């Protein structure tokens, strides 16, 4: 396993590439949850890269980990631009097919990507959604940053037929979309992942039972992280097999 730490030249975004081998046919762009870091996901990424013989890449977007911009000053627009920037770096390195796996906040970022770049397969695990009017606002000025009730009211207002730019990006995506619900998710109501699934042209809806939004908060979290990794590795392997 070759692991390389990199920096986007545009705004000093840290990102890491895990190369399982020299094959440049596939790479998984892994987009983690809100405030999660490269370091916190590294062990799991290595396990999945080895289990699938596939390279993985991930980043610390603005406000996350060792990114120089503090979260209060970051915007979702900036973070999404950084996701696009890492995608472009992977293409420059010669990777031909990019699969995107996003969890929670990363699921929202992943859902937006098909409108901007060509991807092969989209995987949204316990995906979040956010008000469009806050996209260019610094986090300190958003409902989530202010920690006020409107943030929760927004999520509660989403039903299975809700749409916004993220959902429409999924609707416009011609490839395979996997939407994964955590069976005991106490943060993301099932209506949110179902709104993405209902928009997908070629969608599969999966439920991982007994899992809360973050396994870190559960007894025996390693058991549930292993379960999630097993499901995701199976999707990666199946996708590669179906497209050979």
Domains in the chain: boundaries: 2-242
Cα–Cα distance for residue pair 161/19, rounded to 1 Å: 39
- Taking Cα atoms as reference points, which of 128, 172, 182, 185 lies closest to residue 154? 128
Q: How far apart are the C-alpha atoms of 135 and 109, rounded to whole Å?
A: 11
Give me the helices (H) in 53-179, please: 76-92, 105-112, 143-146, 149-156, 165-172
Q: Does CATH place domain 2-242 in 3.40.50.1820?
A: yes
Over residues 68-89, mean pLDDT: 97
**Residue 94: which of 16, 27, 7 has the closest Cα?**
27
- Look at residue 176 in the predicted model and tell me its pLDDT: 97
Question: What is the predicted pLDDT for the residue at 148?
Answer: 76
Q: Are strands 14-19 and 55-59 parallel, antiparallel or unpaired?
A: antiparallel
Cβ-proximal residues to 14 (8 Å cutoff; 6+ apart), any chain: 5, 6, 7, 38, 59, 60, 65, 66, 67
Between CA 124 and CA 67 the distance in angstroms is 24
Q: Are 85 and 41 in contact (CB under 8 A)?
A: no
Q: What is the mean pLDDT of the chain?
A: 95
Tokens read off for 122: 């989209």
Please report where in the chains the tokens 């927004």 appear, as a residue: 154
For the cut 90, the answer to whether the pLDDT of residue 116 exceeds it is yes
What pLDDT score was predicted for residue 149?
78
Strands laid side by side in the 176-182 sheet: 2-7, 14-19, 55-59, 26-31, 97-103, 121-125, 176-182, 202-208
The whole-number average pLDDT for the span 113-141 is: 96
Q: Measuring CA to CA, which residue among 74, 50, 49, 48 is closest to residue 60?
A: 74
- Whether 244 has a pLDDT exceeding 80, the answer reads no
Helix, strand or coil, per DSSP, at residue 75: strand
Displacement of CA 211 from its chain's centroid (Å): 18
The Cα 218–Cα 195 span in angstroms is 27
Confidence check: pLDDT of 10 > 90: no
Model confidence at 235, in pLDDT bands (50, 70, 90)?
Answer: very high
Backbone angles phi, psi at 120, to 5 degrees: -90, -45
Structure-token pair, residue 123: 């995987």
């Amino acid at each position: 396993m070759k692991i390389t730490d990199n920096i986007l030249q545009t705004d000093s975004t840290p990102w890491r590439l895990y190369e399982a081998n020299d094959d440049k046919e596939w790479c998984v762009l892994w987009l983690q949850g809100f405030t999660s870091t490269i370091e916190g996901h590294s062990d799991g990424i290595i396990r999945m890269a080895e289990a699938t013989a596939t390279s993985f890449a991930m980043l610390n977007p603005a406000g996350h980990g060792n990114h120089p911009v503090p979260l209060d000053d970051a915007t979702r627009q900036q973070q999404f631009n950084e996701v696009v920037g890492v995608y472009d770096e992977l293409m420059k390195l010669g990777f031909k097919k990019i699969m995107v796996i996003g969890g929670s906040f990363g699921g929202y970022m992943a859902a937006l990507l098909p409108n901007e770049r060509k991807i092969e397969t989209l995987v949204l695990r316990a995906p979040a959604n956010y008000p469009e009017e806050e996209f260019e606002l610094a986090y300190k000025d958003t409902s989530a940053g202010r920690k006020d009730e409107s943030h929760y009211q927004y999520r509660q207002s989403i039903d299975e037929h809700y749409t916004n730019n993220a959902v429409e990006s999924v609707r416009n995506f011609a490839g395979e979309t996997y939407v994964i619900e955590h069976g005991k998710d106490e943060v993301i109501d099932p209506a949110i992942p179902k709104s993405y699934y209902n928009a997908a042209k070629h969608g599969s809806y999966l439920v991982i039972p007994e899992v809360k939004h973050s396994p870190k908060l559960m007894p025996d979290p390693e058991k549930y992280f292993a379960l999630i990794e097993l499901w995701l590795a199976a999707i990666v392997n199946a996708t590669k097999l179906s497209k050979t």
